[in-house]
Amino acid sequence: MLGADDAVTGALLARGWPGRPLADQPLGIDLLNTRWITAGVAYDLFDHDDLTGAWLTDRELPTARPVPRQPLREARAAVAAVIADPADHAALNALLDHGRVRLAVDARGRVEHDDVADPRWRAAWACLRDFAALREATPDRLRKCANPECVLHFQDVSRTGRRLWCSMTACGNRLKARRHHDRARATP
């Protein structure tokens, strides 16, 4: 996982867009966070070829021409459906049919290779594969932010496993303050 979002950040700044929150999540979750809301305005990297290409570059994913925005959108929707309802995996499984993992052995031991025939699906399939691995390893720690106005997702790596917010400062404190204000106003 890359720590920096360099190409994306540069492309966002060139458009006058705000920076992307939670860009440090694992690939399968970062796919979801290519959409976000800042100050009530919705942003989507996959609406633009240059931003999608920058994200693919930053995440070291295969690129293709034309930029494979539609497969990435479909993958994002399938992952979001599984996070919302873990039993809703039909779309995810259908998209995983675009590829397979091919095993080999070399001097280091077992090696896995993604085998995706259609180059437009290689990046989306890599995201889906990563999400499937995350879901297998930590299914109860893949979450959507508890703020109903937020669209961000995260992998909860906290010690207690009880994280609710994408960011305590961005969503947690804001929602807690709103609830407090509503309670104070309701008290006669």
Q: Round to whole Å and give the CA distance between 13 and 28.
A: 25
81-120 confidence digits (pLDDT tens): 999 999 999 999 999 999 999 999 999 999 999 999 999 9
Name the nearest CA neighbour of 91 among 78, 80, 82, 79.
78
Domains of the chain, with CATH numbers?
6-186 (1.10.3300.10)
154-164 confidence digits (pLDDT tens): 999 999 999 99
pTM for this entry: 0.86
Is-contact 135 82, C-beta < 8 A? Answer: yes
